[in-house]
Amino acid sequence: MDLTLNSRDEAGHTVLAVSGEVDVYTAPALRDRIADLLDSGQHQLVIDLGGVEFLDSTGLGVLVAGLNRAREVGGNLSLVCPQERVLKLFRITGLDEVFTVHPTVDEALASPSES
């Protein structure tokens, strides 16, 4: 399955909706999109993983790198993860303690940004 990335500005944040599979083959596209958004001054990112069917360790690494880069520029990267099978990966790896994870985009946008 292909990876689809769609971004939109909403409530002072940039929401990046990710759909498909995030794996060793597609993760570079996600990495590049996050970098492009941060480089263009969009420092409050919400990554919506609601459409993700599969996420591997490469994809997790890209998200961690994106979070670190966002923090370096004074921004933040939070996640929306409504699917239990994807959220389980964050719990198993302990990354649910690293990321702010929300069940919906609306909740992510309503949450105060963390630095």
- Side-chain-facing half-sphere of 47: CA atoms under 13 Å: 29
Global model pTM greater than 0.85: yes
- Domain spanning 3-110 has what CATH number? 3.30.750.24
**pLDDT by residue, tens only, the chain of 115 residues:** 699 999 999 999 999 999 999 999 999 999 999 999 999 999 999 999 999 999 999 999 999 999 999 999 999 999 999 999 999 999 999 999 999 999 999 999 998 754 3
pLDDT at 113: 56
